[in-house]
Structure 1
Amino acid sequence: MGLNPLTSEERSRAVSKATAARARRAEAKSALKAGTLGLDELFEQAMADEALARLKVTEMLESFHGIGPVRSLAILDQLGIAPSRRLRGLGIHQRRALIDFLEAQ
């Protein structure tokens, strides 16, 4: 079963929506890196913002200074969080564990 073909107008709307979502996620990661956005705020915003809800937890971790791909996977393993998780998929205890871990660093 294939996907329905999109008209050129539908395709251009989808491209615009995807571009805006990528820009929103990049903006949030930059704010995390700069320290102008806290994790509590990010999780709160992700509840209402679909683009942020789809941000991968590994990408979010990698936006912090000193955390790269290897360290982000090690952190997730230590906290018992699957590497494929997105912000929307985190439970309350997983969020709290991430916040506590990063505040302790």
Structure 2
Amino acid sequence: MKKVLFLCSKNKLRSPTAEAIFSDVDGWEVYSAGISSDAEVHVSLEDIEWADHIFVMETVHKKKLSSKFGRAIKDKKVITLDIPDNYDYMDSELINILKSKIPRLVN
């Protein structure tokens, strides 16, 4: 089972969309969380340790993750997707972007 963690700022739009569209992929466990202090669901050390693959939406998320969980992500592959915060939850364009990027990166 591949454990895939999606992170964005507030866990309201981008990462929950990713979690929703990949939650039914055979052989994958998926979860999403937010990095900001006002996130719907906050990323935890347990989330980081659990994940085999960590995807962040923007470079700033990777920097915040490094700052908060530096040691824990030292040996983890954290991939920046470069998806800006201008999509609604389950936006069709966002879904297409995620589907074009994610599957080939999870191996």
The one of the two structures with greater contact order (alpha-carbon pairs below 8 A, sep at least 6) is 2
| TM-score (normalizing by structure 2) | 0.28
- The structure carrying a bigger helix percent of its residues is 1
The structure number with the bigger radius of gyration is: 1
| TM-score (normalizing by structure 1) | 0.28
